[in-house]
Structure 1
Amino acid sequence: MIPLSILDLVRITQETNAGGALNNARDLARHAEGWGYQRIWAAEHHNIAGIASAATSVVLAHIAGGTEKIRVGAGGIMLPNHSPLVIAEQFGTLAHLFPGRVDLGLGRAPGTDQRTLQALRRSPAASEAFPQDVLELQALLAPPQPGQFLHAVPGEGTEVPLWILGSSTFGARLAAELGLPYAFASHFAPQALLPALEIYRSRFRPSKQLQQPYAMVGVNIIAADSDAEARRLATTQQMSFVDLVRGTRLYSKPPIDDIESYWSPMEKAQAMQMLARSIIGSPSTVRAGIADLVAETGADELIIVSDLYHHEDRLRSYELIAQAQAETIT
């Protein structure tokens, strides 16, 4: 049985404001801890009406403060948006507040649109420096060296575990070269999943942090008591992806009975291409889907997005997923 983890989108809905979304994320983490989930991550997004995780390190402090043992982390920090020193200080602070529980996943995408990039003061060429920024961040989190002038206080010496995130083969190559764990975003970009995993494993070089390759696969899983109910609940996420295709990043919407009335054939094709690896159904359907995905990918861990409108439905989904996983070995 491989570990299961959670990627929480910290969704703002038509009925729940940002404060409610943040408190729901914390409540989910508390429940997930009891259900045996390994970690819960939140991702950096900007200028998106329906996502409340822009200040990611603050969100993680809120989540970690309501839990005792589950790992918390960024999935991820979009490093080209920031100075490595600032991120080392932020996550070093988290590591001192919550020792042994903090992960730092790093991505090179902007997490927003081009106009918002300008507001972030990010250079269009910033992503080209991503590998060097990762190395700089790693050095700032390491024990100080003789003669070192720049120090991340707090941060240095914490050696917060770094992960490389990716939705293409670029991140796979970098994670392999640096000997870092790799998380692939097949919950929205499934096409390159298998090639990226092959590149990562075949080119992996052991490092101080990691001796063997470790691959975590992102996957959408929506569980309910029946396949039909799960499919209805999944329409919330399907509508969100259609809104993304339309360029209208709106609040999360409640599920509907007829998704065909919401999207055009072209929008359906685009949305379902991004959602192609979703697992939707009853516990038995979910159990089989997880087994097939792990067999196909050899994943060391799954990080699950269960993007449901009502908080109670989301809690139930994650509970059923954990139960389905546990029943796999009984």
Structure 2
Amino acid sequence: MPDKVESILMLVAAGEFSMGILGNTFIGLVNCIGWIKKRKIASIDLILTSLAISRICLLCIILLDCFILVLYPDVYATGKQMRIIDFFWTLTNHLSVWFATCLSIFYFLKIANFFHPLFLWMKWRIDSAIPRILLGCLALSVFISLVVTENLNDDFRCCVRTKKKTNLTVRCRVKKAKYSSIKICLNLLTLFPFSVSLISFLLLILSLWRHTRQMKFNATGCRDFSIEAHMGAMKAVISFLLLFIAYYLAFLVATSSYFMPETELAVIIGELIALIYPSSHSFILILGSNKLRQASLRVLWKVKYVLKRRNF
């Protein structure tokens, strides 16, 4: 049975999970309803829907792992069940990061103002290429997950629970180099899309700076929608970058738990921090999108109206 600390942490994890499911499900439902009504979907809505679905799955996997660790620790003694969880966690983790990177690139290509031939060609082709890019991200994530899971030894997860009860120091030391190399490769792979998002953010700043300079020489006194678009995109990208850094560090803690003395508590805390990224970023995306923000206001107005009627 879990102790009081673990019970409190699990309650916090359940709260974060609920908020994340609420936000990401809202994004998916709004975009899917619009898709059904118009019989077509905009590229940005397709990216946001794919991102929301991947994060819903990621949230479910993280919460499931927390509950198994606390309530059913004996499952860690078997390799097959935990191998499945490792596969889906790796898959949804990479999908979430790659789809968020696609969103950053889309913002950059649609909003930035550059006149390089390569940039103009990418800007022209991005809408038609989005479905293929998302499928490519899915195929790449499945391949990485299969490779990583295949190379994890069956006693990897077992040590999370049993190494405090049995002396596995010698075996852990022998396996440490192998496991470390796998984890380093896994985490370095997620740094590539993060770097692409960072480059997109820096180029957006450069584009905004150039546009602001031009506006000084051509001041019209009118509202500048280009600057507003730049600022909105930059807020979305920088929120992803900051939240991903926190998630990445928490992911390192959770996946490196094999080498920590207090593994059970370390994994739960790491996964608790990891839940913040897919949960909170969805609300930032809702606030940054006119369509999603207006839909959320309509829902809140209806909820308020129903509650008022019940009071009377």
Fold shared per TM-score above 0.5: no
Smaller-chain TM-score bracket? under 0.3
The alignment's TM-score, normalised by the length of structure 2, stands at 0.24
The alignment's TM-score, normalised by the length of structure 1, stands at 0.23
- The structure that is strand-richer by fraction is 1
Question: Per chain length, whose mean CA-contact separation is higher, i.e. which structure has more relative contact order (CA < 8 Å, sep 6+)?
Answer: 2
- The structure that is helix-richer by fraction is 2
The structure with more radius of gyration: 2
